[in-house]
Amino acid sequence: MKDFSYFRASSTDEARQRAAQPDAMLLAGGTTLLDLAKCGVAEPSSVVDISHLSSLSQIWADAGGVTIGALAKMEDVARSPGIRADYPAISQSLLLAASPQLRNMATIGGNLLQRTRCPYFRDPGTFFACNKRNPGSGCSAIGGVTRNQAVLGTSEACIACYPGDLAVALVALEATIDLGDRKVAADDFFVLPGSTPERETLLERGEMVMAVNIPASAVARNSTYLKVRDRKSYEFAAASAAVGLELEADGKTIRDIRVALGGVATKPWRARSVEKALLGKVLDAGTVGAASRLAVEGAVAHGGNSYKIELAPRVVARAILTMGGIA
């Protein structure tokens, strides 16, 4: 870990000004930054501490929705009675992430900006070729061990999977990310790798995540996050699905539905084709199963990750049927 300067910001404006400097990084919970610095991926020249800016750690709710400050702790948000009641997929996605110790340190903003767990990205001493670290150097993952790599949204430059859970639920519930001077849809905030995999979000230098806004809705209140992984806890998703469902008064016909996938794509993946196929349809296992297969349209396997193309639709279908009360 190389030497760096430390600055404790007194306001969000000061933090943004400092963060605009070359090779500066923000410090909140520190759970991601410390990991990246220890493995030699992050080498900031200066660290700007924002962990004490209490105005960014609040949760505000009204009839229109909820706003979660970027410095709110994952555990606090997950355990919030209002979040659990009106946005259960958000609570569940947080509780299924990391460990209680990490959730009590990690912040919402930091969680959204976490980097991939691709082992080739996180081992610069062994693998020089990584377009996320060294643009133009190549992708060591292609042709390597790929079990945990993405099958959706990949490119010739990168097949690294986005690792987070919360962002999947935010995309499904059509949240927006407040960057101070602008707000962007969560689905647009994360970008595909294309030929520039080093750019993972729309965040510009000098900007910072200020808050997350989630609109209140029937689908948000009747939502879930289902995560399938190799072990029961402290593990990233092999495939996951955030689903929100609203039925007509007959209790059978789908009035509204939102679906997003995690663990299978280079960014949180909104499955709009699944939603379109199910709107107005009667909820039953056959219809849901057929529509769920659309979730992996365009998927490209790279050896060991081919199982995700079969797994993801099953996770989507199970989540939808669970919300419909027939799983």
- Residues 139 and 130: beta-carbon distance below 8 Å: yes
CA terminus-to-terminus distance, the chain: 49
Please state, in angstroms and rounded to a whole number, the distance separating the CA atoms of residues 31 and 50.
Answer: 14
Counted domains in the chain: 2
Same domain? For 11 and 107 the reply is: no
Q: What is the mean pLDDT of the chain?
A: 97
Burial class (CB in 10 A: 0-12, 13-18, 19+), 170: buried
The CATH number assigned to the domain holding 191 equals: 3.30.390.50
The CATH number assigned to the domain holding 15 equals: 3.30.43.10
pLDDT at 22 over 90: yes
Q: What angle do CA 277, 281, 284 make, to 5 degrees?
A: 100
Same domain? For 17 and 64 the reply is: no
Crossing angle of helices 285-292 and 307-323, in 10° steps, is 140
Give a yes or no: residue 96 inside a domain.
Answer: yes
Same domain? For 176 and 36 the reply is: no
pLDDT in tens, 195-246: 999 999 999 999 999 999 999 999 999 999 999 999 999 999 999 999 999 9
Same domain? For 279 and 188 the reply is: yes
Please state, in angstroms and rounded to a whole number, the distance separating the CA atoms of residues 164 and 151.
Answer: 16
Average confidence (pLDDT) over 65-86: 98
Give a yes or no: residue 128 inside a domain.
Answer: no
Same domain? For 11 and 81 the reply is: no
Give a yes or no: residue 62 inside a domain.
Answer: yes
Same domain? For 72 and 28 the reply is: no
Give a yes or no: residue 292 inside a domain.
Answer: yes
Give a yes or no: residue 278 inside a domain.
Answer: yes
Tell me the pairing of strands 176-178 and 65-69. unpaired
Q: Residue 266: what pLDDT? A: 98
Please state, in angstroms and rounded to a whole number, the distance separating the CA atoms of residues 255 and 242.
Answer: 17
Domain of residue 42 covers 5-49
Please state, in angstroms and rounded to a whole number, the distance separating the CA atoms of residues 304 and 279.
Answer: 34
- Residues 259 and 172: beta-carbon distance below 8 Å: yes
Please state, in angstroms and rounded to a whole number, the distance separating the CA atoms of residues 324 and 6.
Answer: 51
Same domain? For 213 and 230 the reply is: yes
Instruction: Output the pTM of the full model.
Output: 0.98
Please state, in angstroms and rounded to a whole number, the distance separating the CA atoms of residues 41 and 38.
Answer: 8
pLDDT at 1 over 80: no
Which segments of the chain are extended strands (E)? Answer: 5-8, 24-27, 46-49, 59-62, 65-69, 176-178, 183-185, 211-215, 223-228, 239-247, 254-262, 269-270
Same domain? For 44 and 79 the reply is: no
The candidate with the shortest Cα–Cα distance to 96, out of 200, 2, 210, 233, is 233
- Residues 25 and 42: beta-carbon distance below 8 Å: yes
19 pLDDT band, cuts 50/70/90, is very high
Q: What angle do CA 77, 115, 183 make, to 5 degrees?
A: 60
Q: How far is CA 85 from CA 164, 222, 223, 244, 260, in A?
A: 22, 9, 10, 13, 20
Average confidence (pLDDT) over 171-190: 98
Same domain? For 103 and 68 the reply is: yes
Same domain? For 205 and 282 the reply is: yes
2 pLDDT band, cuts 50/70/90, is confident
Q: Residue 327: what pLDDT? A: 74
181 pLDDT band, cuts 50/70/90, is very high
Same domain? For 45 and 193 the reply is: no
